[in-house]
Structure 1
């Protein structure tokens, strides 16, 4: 029972799923209607022939013939109406679809006399007009975007060319010359200038190209309140001037023979500060009215301002480096050769006293010391010339300090004691050199000024603590005004402080009259600097379009 129920349900489902017959097309319908009309025509003709040739005719045959002829006429009329009101509009619709498919978005359906198709045609034509409008808008937007992309690409090429010229420049003059030639080619300019702001509110012409030498001479230095250049410098915006008569009056002669020249003034900015202005003289009028050209000129101004500031900073850094090198050379001469000469001066004085005493053995002993000191001074001088560094013992800091203390004992005849709590600590060569020089300078001051009998040098390197170097004596002490430092013979104390700063250390000088002097140096573990592979890391800011 259940099986029969399931089978019946499946049959009903199958019947429901049977595909419906396709609805006949218009052409098929007209073909069937034509076949029906021909059939009725044949029947009608046969019926009329039978009516005419029959021996006995009745009105039924005649009426049947008339009905057949009327049916044929009705079918013919229906066929005509179907072709006119259905087939023709569909043919027009198909033709319109083919035109649209082929890309002719301006194709439209003709005006229809049929009310139903007339409204449909209007709606379809309105849709076609909307589609054509959207297509034209999209095409226009694509063309504009393509043009903007091409302009940006051109601007990037110009900026790349300018940046390449800036990097290839040897100095500021070469940089500005390359810049002006590149930018003159970009805007087809007749001439160009670069002016920098001075501290007294004037603008100095530092580079020019294409201008008459007499004009350049008159324009070397102008007031910031004068004409367009001053406005660009004050307000930091791009300006243009199509009449250079006023500029020619200031210069005492026309800038150019032709009056059809426009001047563009663009500020040179760096980190929000206006450094100066660059000018372009071109026959192309209205360049600054183009937004893309404004952005390009402003961006070029930023790049050039950055390059000029970098050049200035490099020059200052070079001067500072030269000054530091000179200071270092002076310090090295003071701590090495000057000390050796001072020691020789002291030994010559001792030699003079020995000559007056008449002790021949002591005389030869002093002469030997002087000869040894001359050899040491000569060695130090050769080291300075060859390497410009302290004659550090190749074995490290401790042997060099021991050698310095032994030389101090020999030259001064003052008892000196070295207390080492240093272990096997190793420091960078530069740090060891500064520590050695501090010890040497302190010992030299003791020999020359302290009148001490004993000296102690303590060197301590404890884990987790700062390094300690202490030099103390039992001499007459140092006066306060000498500790404060000053020029001349007290230069050594200032050099001691400079050397301590180089190792990020702290130098203390403690002294009381008649109680001796203590010099204490403490400094942290040196920071190892990473090796420089010759590359420079640069953070590029996100590109922003300058608003002019």
Structure 2
């Protein structure tokens, strides 16, 4: 039995579930404010239309009844005329007109009775649907069709009638008129009844209109105005910071949901306003802490960008951290990866004994060495360490020591410590701040090292160029003098005074040329830019060269491009000096010109009218030609190309070009 009843129960649940859902949806729909308002208005409209329709129907029936009274009343007048016409049939002299009148009145009576029987909706004209009226009309119709009309037609067919027959017809017509009068009276009574109902329906419509207006006003007030007024009052009290106000949420429509939302908002505002001062204090403290962090970051970044020695930079960095975090001591240690040592570069607030003990520490020793070895940040509470492993920091009275690393481009450079005599904990935010500061310090230290390496490389390259210059000028001159001295020594031993007399002027000329080379090198080494202007510096150099060599040199400059950095301007100046030195030594020229075209592309030309040379011979000499290699190295430093153009007897042109995509602005 159970196995048989379970399916039917499940089926019933399945059948009743949609009905329950539909009933719930129907109830939810009726709880909506819009449904209530629209339903009420539609109900009022339906009742109003019903009453108005009844009124119109009664008016239409009254209008048809009035027309029926008129037609029925005309039956009496027509009957009287018919009686008079029949009386005229007894007079032979009046028979023909009387006969025509009889026929006309009979036709009129037939037509009137037909209209009353069938009605006319367009006029409108119809008998009221009353059984008594219908019975009276049937009696009038029967009287006409069975008695009065046949009698009139029979009298009309006789050649002559007696006066008694005419008076008999007239008596029967009076009976017919009496029946018609009763019919008219019944129709009038029915019209009075319908007029009463029409007035009643009009009064009912007036009463309904009044009651409907009052009901709609009450409905709108109850459904809309009262909740809106209540909500407005609650909002007014809310504006006055009365967060205790609550709205009644007893309704099931939209205003009920709105009241619930208002109450929830009031609860939240009350909670927020209650804790507003605490929130303001918390936010203010957080904002102040953020401002202090930003000030520390900005001050530290600005300080680390200054040109200063590493010790002074680390000392200022450590002082700022100690002031911000309230540290009682600290140190900055630099890592020597080759020897595995940690050197204390600067310190603050540490005793001489502690500094002496930890001025150089091996990686892996103590907490600092372990932090470097494991590359982790350590904040150690020294009070929790075992007594047997007590550190020198703990014996000095510090309770907390922290170790943060110094990095630069993934390279570990060292670490810095902060010591506290009171227990100190660092939040994750503070640790992130200290790690960021460690990266700033590492970048600054790495920049100092890179700057030192760059200066070292610049000095090394400049010394290389100086050595090449000495080799190309003074070394060759001294080699020539050495050969002449050897020849002089051989001539003196051989007693050949004539050869001695020839060698001495050559020695004097060689010494003079070496002296001039030395003066020129010293002058070039002392060359500086005049007021950061390349054109003015070139003009000064050309003027000195003209006075010393006696060669006429002209400068033509057209400069509209962006200015060069000082290092590039110095290289250009040195190239011009070297080119002019070659003109003096090898060209034998009387005139030379330096042409400067500085627009988007930069072009520097040094041209002379000297003897020139064969470029093939220059190619065979390679890098050993006087000054050419030096000029090309200087051109490569500024990413420019240098080309030497010459022909025997046609002078020499040194052309330097720097395209706009490779130039750097100052």
Give the TM-score, by structure 1 length: 0.54
In structure 2, what is the equivalent of residue 101 of structure 1? 239
Deviation at 1:159, TM superposition (A): 1.4
1:470 counterpart = 2:618? yes
1:199 counterpart = 2:337? yes
In structure 1, what is the equivalent of residue 502 of structure 2? 365
Give, in whole Å, the separation in 2 of the partners of 1:97 and 1:229: 64
Deviation at 1:457, TM superposition (A): 4.3
In structure 1, what is the equivalent of residue 402 of structure 2? 264
In structure 2, what is the equivalent of residue 208 of structure 1? 347
**Cα displacement string for residues 229-265 of structure 1 (whole angstroms, at most 9, x for unaligned residues):** 3454355543201107979988984466434x31111
SS at match of 2:521: helix
| Residues 1:255 and 1:320: Cα distance change in structure 2 (over 3 Å) | farther
| Residues 1:497 and 1:113: Cα distance change in structure 2 (over 3 Å) | closer
1:218 counterpart = 2:357? yes
| Residues 1:387 and 1:209: Cα distance change in structure 2 (over 3 Å) | same
In structure 1, what is the equivalent of residue 473 of structure 2? 336
Give, in whole Å, the separation in 1 of the partners of 2:604 and 2:256: 103
Give, in whole Å, the separation in 1 of the partners of 2:389 and 2:480: 69
In structure 2, what is the equivalent of residue 387 of structure 1? 524
Q: CA RMSD in A?
A: 5.3
Candidates 434, 446, 449, aligned match of 1:312: 449
Give, in whole Å, the separation in 2 of the partners of 1:160 and 1:143: 25
**Structure 2, unaligned runs of 5 or more:** 1-226, 528-540, 547-552, 554-575, 598-602, 606-611, 643-653
Deviation at 1:183, TM superposition (A): 1.2
Deviation at 1:388, TM superposition (A): 2.0
**Structure 1, unaligned runs of 5 or more:** 1-88, 408-417, 434-455, 460-467, 474-482, 484-490, 508-521, 534-548
Give, in whole Å, the separation in 2 of the partners of 1:113 and 1:499: 98
Give, in whole Å, the separation in 1 of the partners of 2:430 and 2:285: 13
Deviation at 1:300, TM superposition (A): 0.8
May I ask how many residue pairs the two structures share in their alignment? 371
Give the TM-score, by structure 2 length: 0.45
Kept in 2: contact 1:332–1:389 (CA 8 A): no
The 5 A counterparts of 1:10-159 are 97-105=235-243, 107-109=244-246, 125-133=263-271, 146-159=284-297
Deviation at 1:184, TM superposition (A): 1.0
Give, in whole Å, the separation in 2 of the partners of 1:170 and 1:217: 26
Give, in whole Å, the separation in 2 of the partners of 1:196 and 1:175: 13
Candidates 189, 197, 205, aligned match of 2:327: 189
Give, in whole Å, the separation in 2 of the partners of 1:499 and 1:251: 66
Give, in whole Å, the separation in 2 of the partners of 1:147 and 1:206: 36
Candidates 371, 380, 404, aligned match of 2:585: 404
| Residues 1:349 and 1:405: Cα distance change in structure 2 (over 3 Å) | farther
Kept in 1: contact 2:604–2:656 (CA 8 A): no
**Cα displacement string for residues 310-363 of structure 1 (whole angstroms, at most 9, x for unaligned residues):** 111122222223333333333332222222211111122233344456555543
Give, in whole Å, the separation in 2 of the partners of 1:244 and 1:494: 75
Deviation at 1:143, TM superposition (A): 6.1
Kept in 1: contact 2:406–2:442 (CA 8 A): yes
Higher Cα radius of gyration = 2
In structure 1, what is the equivalent of residue 164 of structure 2? none
Give, in whole Å, the separation in 2 of the partners of 1:300 and 1:292: 12
| Residues 1:136 and 1:329: Cα distance change in structure 2 (over 3 Å) | farther
| Residues 1:226 and 1:494: Cα distance change in structure 2 (over 3 Å) | farther
Kept in 2: contact 1:337–1:380 (CA 8 A): yes
Q: Which has the higher helix share?
A: 2
| Residues 1:469 and 1:222: Cα distance change in structure 2 (over 3 Å) | farther
